[in-house]
Amino acid sequence: MSHRRARESSGPRPRGRRAVLLSAAAVLVIGSGAAALAAAGGGDEHPATAAPAPAAATTADGDGTATPAPAFGESTSASPSASTSASASASASASGSPSASASAASSATAGAGQPAKGAGPSPAAPVAKPGGAPATFTGLAFDTCTAPSLATMNAWHGTSPYGAAAVYIGGKNRGCAQPQLTAGWVKSVSSSGWKLVPLYVGAQPPCQTGSSPEKLTADTAAPLGTTDGQDAVAKAAALGMRPGSTLYLDVEAYNTADTSCADAVLAYVQSWNRAVHGAGYWAGFYGFASSSAAGIAEAAGENAPDLPDAVWYARYDGAADTTGSFPFAAGLWSGHRRAHQYQINQKETYGGATVTVDRNAWDAPVAVVG
C-alpha cells in the first residue's frame, strides 16, 4: 500500500508519497461501481454483467492451487461478479463458524512440516484453518492513509466506483493516526454497504532499507510472528470483525536475493498465519509483485506450508484486473483469492468529498462484521 512507515525498498521507490512508509489503517475501498472497472479492463474471472449491479452477497468458489489453501465453498448468490469486459458487481458474505486450533497457534514457531526454505530448526505443527468459506468481494478498491470520516464514506457510497473499505487495524509500523477507526465506525460503514478489508502492518524484513519501528530477525521471526498474529486478531475483534474474516499482513519491499533475509521473512509470515488461523480467521498477504509477494509465491511453488490464503500484490501497470496482470504462476491463489494495487496517487472527488487514493482491483476475501 502507499501509506506505511516502512515503504523503503531495496530498489527505487515506485512513488514519492510512498516515502510515508508503512502507514496504517488506510481505507481500501473496493468497488461496486462497475463502469470504472470495465473501462480499466475488469478485475476478475467471472461472467460479464451488462450493467452495474448493487452489492450482492456470495461466497466464492475456490479451486485447487499450488499453494496451501482453504477449500472454499460454492457461491450462494446468483448475482454475477465483474469481468474484464463488464461492470464490477460486489460479492460478500459471512462464512459459517470457523473451527481452529488456538492452542497450536500459541506455540507456533517457524515453518510447519518441511518447508522448502529454511524457516528455522524447530518446525511447528500445522494449525487447522477456519471451516466453511470466507466472505469475498469482487470489484474496485481504494486505499488512503487515514480512514475517511463517516461523512466522506457516506458521500462516496453510491457516487464513487468503489464499494468496500480495507482499514489498517494495527501493527507497530502503521504510520497514520486513525481517529475514525472505531467499532462504531466499522459498524456504520458496514451497515451502509461498504465491505471492509483489515490490514495489519507487521514487523518488516531485517534487510529492508530505512528505519521501521519494528523489524524481525532470524531469531525473532517465529515468536514475533505469533505475537503479531495474535495482536492482529485482537485488533480485528475489538473493531467488530469476527472470526471468518480475512486479515491481511503487510510486508513491504526487500531484497529477496538475500536468502537469509527471505528465510526469516517466510518464518515470520508462516508463524503469523498460524496464529491467525488458530483464532478462526483467514490469512491474507500484501506485498510487492517484484519482492515481498514474489518471495511468498516462490515458497508456494516449493509447497511450503502455512502460506497465505489470499494475496494482494502491488504492481503499478494500470491494469484493473487480477488475471492478465497476475505476475505469478496461473494456478496460484485462483478462485477469488487475488487483489491488485494497480495505480497510485489519484485525487478523486465524489459527492462533494475529495480524497487522494490508490486504486485496486479486488477479487478476494474480506472481513465479516457484526
Instruction: Identify which has the larger pLDDT, 370 or 99.
Output: 370
- pLDDT, residue 123, reads 55
- pLDDT, residue 75, reads 29
pLDDT exceeds cutoff 80 at 365 = yes
Cell of residue 366, nine digits: 474480506
pTM: 0.73
pLDDT digits (tens, 9 = 90+) for 256-276: 999 999 999 999 999 999 999
pLDDT grade, residue 329 (50/70/90)? very high
Structural domains of the chain ordered from first start: 4-365 (3.20.20.80)
- pLDDT, residue 128, reads 86
Residue located via cell numbers 508519497? 17
Instruction: Identify which has the larger pLDDT, 171 or 14.
Output: 171
Distances (CA, A) of 36 to 88, 160, 280: 8, 9, 35
Instruction: Identify which has the larger pLDDT, 289 or 52.
Output: 289
pLDDT digits (tens, 9 = 90+) for 180-217: 999 999 999 999 999 999 999 999 999 998 889 999 99
Distances (CA, A) of 310 to 21, 27, 30, 247, 315: 23, 18, 16, 10, 16
pLDDT digits (tens, 9 = 90+) for 71-111: 443 322 323 233 333 333 333 333 333 333 333 333 333 33
Alpha helices per DSSP H over 75-217: 102-106, 150-156, 183-191
- pLDDT, residue 277, reads 98
> What type of residue sits at position 323?
T
Strand 338-350, strand 353-365: pairing: antiparallel
Residue located via cell numbers 487514493? 357
Query: How far is the C-alpha of 77 from the C-alpha of 39, rounded, in Å?
Result: 25
